[in-house]
Structure 1
């Protein structure tokens, strides 16, 4: 009896600590946030929906780098493909190119210490970012740097959903082929990515390179109008609400995890009521526990009110995009879920070029053709096991 009382008491204390830690950490985080959105930028943009093609181009540009390579990833695995990537960075550093690599502390947990030591010995400047730290241990463990950006010689930028690991080049049997969208940016967008990388670098290393002109060469302007917006805490929700409210004809959302906030969910319902067509593309196969079940409560209502939902079946769908009225598209690192909305550091690119939007829509159309429509009947068919999972997912949806 004494043991049971002690156990319950300790458990209650842990729960109280977790709640207080999270709420106080979130309050402090929100108090430090400012909206940051670029003016209209001009550049040349390309999209890569296939990992092998992306990394063939990506490795080629790294090999041709002359001055500096700045990279931030959420995940680097401990596999053959990751070792090839790290070897390339070491080779460039030995050539005299400045190489800086930032890696999220939890997302990059599989990278071995000896690999980091080898990077540093070769001259690569390495740092983890978003470490778990006092006084808010639980909250800081949830706030991840989910940005995946690279800047080469200050002129070439990459941004999108791909990380470094074998699944991203279709070598994981369960999740192959991996479907994602990644951008290559030339022009003013690359300059902004450089500044954002150096802000994150300063925050985690105390090395301030933002005023060094050598990292900001002159770049030629392209024809594609776009904006870049880094977000964290609550800033992404406000941006997405604005996008949905401007829609007059159609919205397409592509996301691996569909767990909207209450205001976004209500706005999606309002969109349908005013006659806007809504299509949502999500994976058929899940890569995380409970994320599909967490989406069901929202998808049931949206299907009932006229939305169309497509489950991608040709591999795993990890792309993050929103298309509004064929006039604007969003491609970036943020998922349409509460973790990206309220916790993670993300960065998205909003593109206003009709030709590029048509190109993206062709990619999306292929993905819809490779999908199966999800029906309301499937989600409302009695299934006790699924209902239990949906209930659990609802409780933990903020952290999935």
Structure 2
């Protein structure tokens, strides 16, 4: 397997045609055959971890030379443990129910015509993503289990790693019923290759972008292929007047510091004035203990030394770091209004012992995932029992929230009659 980046011109249309042909074969395979293939892939990835790490080091060194941000480098970096984890993710997907072929509902018309609504694969998925090599494996596993072929276009920063991972996947598929053409990788840093993906509506059924706002907006604004939009995560935690102090601080620390560089990390905390007045020394101590930098409104600045004044951009920012925006409000409605303006419809949480306040928050906040007395970090396919996710949708059509296997299917209506005419 070569560790050299491939920048040559690629024939994206030919790859898309191959993927479409493979999707037909894949759609006819049994659940057992697909599961055997995923198990083979997991074993192969674990056995080849050393060559994957060698490839990853090439990308990491390039990142160091280009002074990539720490959060970006964290997403790019692999270890043996991370490779074992995403191999285990494939085995977790094996354990999940296969949605394809499920009869969602059925009925019989008055004329005797029988109708079944059945889940079927989408067909060919185009996946456009940035630095995370684990997405290469996660997306492949979910696509294949749900009967879809996939075309992978990762960012240039991880191209060496992703190319070797896909080579390993192809080695694993050679021993299974799934044709290796079901997993296509665009091994080019040429932006024209990405633009070609945008317009392959004849061969590609859906595009899924996964990354920062600029990538997602580029796909949404330029693609003629239908897009399943994943979103950035400007996630909020609202600490209500009746919030338990220990719960509030524990959840805040987890949501902000567990993995700051991921989309379900908290970026803004909104705090009721009464709770803040009574507990700001404990809050300040918590921030200091965990190295959290505060960007606050004027009331925060007056009470917390060292905080910087939040600008308009801070309320909308997905920091992906140990920075956090802090706003003080006088009532729940003000918190909800702030989230309406600046939220990205990803994940929002309320910490309170007042069930009426929690119900109001859950009813009126518009987001894919809402939490009462729990961390936003649970907006994740693995954490919610979906297996590895292909992304977190913040749109409202077709799929919303963590997208597991059912989100990668559509439906067919199958009618069976005995000569009925209309």
Q: Tell me if TM exceeds 0.5.
A: no
Q: Which has the higher strand share?
A: 1
TM range (shorter): under 0.3
TM-score between the two structures when normalised by the length of structure 1: 0.25
What's the TM-score, normalizing by structure 2?
0.24
